[in-house]
Structure 1
Amino acid sequence: MKRSDIKRRPLSDTTLLGLEPDAKEYRELDAGGLYFRVKPDGQKSWQLRYKKPDGKWSWLGLGGYPQVSGAMARIKAAELRADAAEGKNPMATKQARKAAEVEAANNTFEALAREWHASRLSGWDEGTAKRVMGALERHVFPELGKRQYTGILSMEWMELLRGLEKAGILEQMSRVRAYCKDVYDLARVTGRAVNNPLEGVHKFLSSGKPENYAHVSIEDLPALLRAIRSYPHAQDVQLGLRLLTLLAVRPSELREAQWSEFDFNKKLWTIPVERKGRKKGREHLVPLCRQAIEALIELRVLTGAYPLLFPGRSDRTKPRSDTVFLMALRRLGYEGRQTGHGFRHIASTILNEHGFVADHVEAQLSHKAPGVRGVYNKAQYLDQRTTMMQWYADHLDTLAKGNVVSIKRA
């Protein structure tokens, strides 16, 4: 569109977009001293013509087009004209507004959370640091990250956390709440916040302890096992569900597992201390029953080219979403009835009811005994657990076939 074709002002969006450059730079009046500038190279921008306090006229740039739309430019121009009418220098007020915008950007929850994360790096291993930031980026920043942290209400935090609670990721919800509470504690002790909006929120949420995870009854377990074996969607997810039933490990441990941790000759999976989120302690040894090895070999055909057993679809260097197994159970019709973590409760119940030694069961679940006993009891009972978990896998096979006769071990 040529300048001569302009029919009305303020300039329409069609006009702004279609104005063609000339051999020389030109300005077209929009309204109220606001001009649209077009350079010979086609670059377009907004300028305000205003009178300085000394009575001289001057130009003030308001930003390039289309980054600054016509509507936005008119709002900025109106603010600056009002400043000029009050005897203020529009150039100074523009700089003050820009500084306020920068300050607001630095006062977002995401900015504060990243500062908190950086302050904790010296006390974390690399895996822990990555998991913490990953949880915040996945569950918090999309909803509240761009908000000023002082303006987020306790009610809004409750709503976000209850969303995670409803999704069944209770352990993750509990961790996210603790992370965010710590973020606000940093603001409070450094004088940038008076109150912590996450204080007391935990009283009205599930605790996130394993016993609170949904799981089917033993009577309904055979149907669930058969449903998993016939899962019609992603084959790697189906194999992941089978491994959760067989190994009684935490879903996060399986999702983040790497092929280098498995020794098929020794029939052993070694979960390193770093991936268990601790700097102290020791690795966790998981004996692999025959059925688990078969599932892993089948999975290796699908994902063996990558370091992770369950690489993400968009980024193969990161594991699948922490809701992947939960969503699969939902697709099978078990929403609210079974979670990935619930398989650990099922294993504990069956093994204890069939007379296996409690210490062996707790060792398989990687539970630490309370008090002094937990400090000094370093035995992993690997031989006993190998026998126990092979019995458990065979027992699940029998349950799935539907011809089990329950006989408790002596």
Structure 2
Amino acid sequence: MKRSEIKRRPLSDTAVAALEPETREYREHDGNSLYLRVKPEGQKSWQLRYKNQAGKWSWLGLGGYPAISPALARKKAAELRKEVSHGNDPLQLKREQQAAELEAATNTFEKLAREWIDIRTPGWAENTTVRTVGALELHVFPVFGKRPFAQILPIEWMEFLRGMEQKGIIEQMSRVRRSCKEIYDLARVTGRAIHNPLEGLNRFLQTKPAENYAHVTARELPELLRAISAYPHAQDVQLGLRLLILTGVRPSELREAPWEEFDFRKALWSIPASRMKKRRDHLVPLSRQALEALKQLHVMTGRYPLLFPGRSDRKKPRSNMAFNMALRRMGYEGRQTGHGFRHIASTTLREHGFPREHVEAQLAHVEEGVSGVYNKAIYLEQRREMMQWYADHLDKLEHGNLVTVDFGLART
């Protein structure tokens, strides 16, 4: 249908659908300042013509046809004419709404969090990055990720964190809370926020008890040592448990260790700062028993970069639950954890007269407030003798009847 063939207004649905394009764009009046715009390529859309507050004529698009039907276009036009009659400028309102939507889209919590991750990642160990980002992606982003961070209220964060608390994932909840608080700190110091909605929430949430990882008593230790030696399921995990006992390292430090960190000739394990909790290089002397366990493990996994390569991806370490799952299978759930071996080593060595400084150095403990250059080889020769005594002592416990004392409290 040509424009000249239009018989009445408002335009009928049939006329709107049949209007043909011309060589130049044109507008056809529907009535009450509502127009149908037709482009040369055939696209059709609705426009409202109105006088703005300055008294000048303006055009405001209402949407394309057929998505916007004639009836809907007239309804929208009537609403906008009402806005104009109240002294508002629909075009200005639309621009302000678009600006607000754009600002909201660029100020979401996830966008701020990703910025924080980019800043913090260079200083993190790989496992820290995996845990932190994974917790945000699993728990936080599905709930708050698309929302403007400045609009999320403290009560919403409290309810969210209490929900995690009620699920019993206290450690995960604490990690998420700390991360989100830091994310808001970034917004605050960069002038994008005045207050941190997570400030002070920790006082009203459960916290993980001080690190007092489960461990057996001294009288139960010989039986545990024998259970580990007889573990029938995965020999690499069995050797890993033995190495945890013999070295006193944290489970993550062993589980994620690459073979290149070990010097068999010097009987020395060099752990770089990037993999240590305190971000300082650490040397671990290896007893004869530890070297033997490593050689057995090397036969199994020496062709891979890691001591404990994952089953599905050999470039990634085994699950962080591997050692504790093995202890659970042995019947030690709630009684012994991989980290608990550090407690046993600390107390046993102290009970047998080894200097506190040597024990603390072996466990890579750093006194709070100590500054200056850290000597990774501190007390190395003394620790070498101490850990060889400890390995021999454990062998005697496993195979003999040494008198034992119950372990007291020790830092892990």
Instruction: Give the shorter-chain TM-score range.
Output: 0.5 to 0.7
Aligned runs of 1:218-229 on 2, under 5 Å? 218-229=218-229
Residues 263 and 153 of structure 1, relative CA distance in 2, 3 Å threshold: same
- Report the counterpart of residue 320 of structure 2 in structure 1: 322
Aligned runs of 1:265-280 on 2, under 5 Å? 265-276=265-276
Instruction: Structure 2: give runs of 5+ residues left out of the alignment.
Output: 1-43, 50-60, 82-91, 407-412
- Report the counterpart of residue 181 of structure 1 in structure 2: 181
Residues 109 and 368 of structure 1, relative CA distance in 2, 3 Å threshold: same
In the alignment, does 2:141 pair up with 1:140? Answer: no
Structure 1 contact 188–196 (Cα < 8 Å) conserved: no
Shift of 1:182: 0.8
Structure 1 contact 244–340 (Cα < 8 Å) conserved: yes
- Report the counterpart of residue 157 of structure 1 in structure 2: 161
Shift of 1:254: 1.0
Aligned runs of 1:56-135 on 2, under 5 Å? 58-59=64-65, 86=79, 107-120=107-120, 124-125=122-123, 128=124, 130-135=126-131
Distance 1:101 1:327 in 2: 49
**Secondary structure of the structure 2 residue equivalent to 1:337:** coil
Shift of 1:265: 0.8
Farther-moved stretch of structure 1 (254-263 vs 139-148): 139-148
Shift of 1:176: 5.2
Structure 2 contact 125–275 (Cα < 8 Å) conserved: no
Distance 1:407 1:292 in 2: 24
In the alignment, does 2:306 pair up with 1:305? Answer: no
Farther-moved stretch of structure 1 (199-208 vs 296-305): 199-208
Amino acid aligned to 1:191: R
Residues 101 and 346 of structure 1, relative CA distance in 2, 3 Å threshold: farther
**Secondary structure of the structure 2 residue equivalent to 1:403:** coil
Shift of 1:187: 2.8
In the alignment, does 2:346 pair up with 1:353? Answer: no
Q: Using structure 1 for the length normalisation, give the TM-score.
A: 0.66
Structure 2 contact 125–274 (Cα < 8 Å) conserved: no
Distance 1:84 1:322 in 2: 62
Amino acid aligned to 1:220: E
Shift of 1:324: 2.8
Structure 1 contact 173–208 (Cα < 8 Å) conserved: no
- Report the counterpart of residue 191 of structure 1 in structure 2: 192
Distance 2:63 2:377 in 1: 84
Larger Rg: 2
Distance 1:131 1:232 in 2: 29
Structure 2 contact 177–198 (Cα < 8 Å) conserved: no
Shift of 1:132: 3.5
Residues 381 and 135 of structure 1, relative CA distance in 2, 3 Å threshold: same
**Secondary structure of the structure 2 residue equivalent to 1:153:** helix
Distance 1:107 1:357 in 2: 55
Shift of 1:61: 6.9
Farther-moved stretch of structure 1 (283-292 vs 299-308): 299-308
- Report the counterpart of residue 259 of structure 2 in structure 1: 259
Distance 2:100 2:115 in 1: 20
Shift of 1:174: 5.7
Q: 1:334 aligns with which of 332, 335, 347?
A: 332
| Count of aligned pairs between the two proteins | 335
Distance 2:368 2:63 in 1: 78
In the alignment, does 2:221 pair up with 1:215? Answer: no
Shift of 1:379: 6.3
Distance 1:117 1:197 in 2: 18
- Report the counterpart of residue 236 of structure 1 in structure 2: 236
Shift of 1:352: 0.8
Shift of 1:223: 2.6
Residues 374 and 184 of structure 1, relative CA distance in 2, 3 Å threshold: same
Shift of 1:268: 0.7
**Secondary structure of the structure 1 residue equivalent to 2:333:** coil
**Secondary structure of the structure 2 residue equivalent to 1:346:** helix
**Secondary structure of the structure 2 residue equivalent to 1:286:** strand
Structure 2 contact 278–366 (Cα < 8 Å) conserved: no
Structure 2 contact 62–73 (Cα < 8 Å) conserved: no
| Residue deviations 1:355-386 (CA, integer Å, cap 9, x gap) | 11211111111112455699788762222211
Distance 2:115 2:63 in 1: 45
Shift of 1:192: 4.2
Shift of 1:275: 2.2
Structure 2 contact 188–195 (Cα < 8 Å) conserved: yes
Q: Using structure 2 for the length normalisation, give the TM-score.
A: 0.66
| Residue deviations 1:207-256 (CA, integer Å, cap 9, x gap) | 5654x222222122223223322333333222212111111111121122
Farther-moved stretch of structure 1 (337-346 vs 134-143): 134-143
**Secondary structure of the structure 2 residue equivalent to 1:270:** strand
Amino acid aligned to 1:273: A
Structure 1 contact 216–338 (Cα < 8 Å) conserved: yes
Q: 1:295 aligns with which of 259, 269, 293?
A: 293
Amino acid aligned to 2:65: W
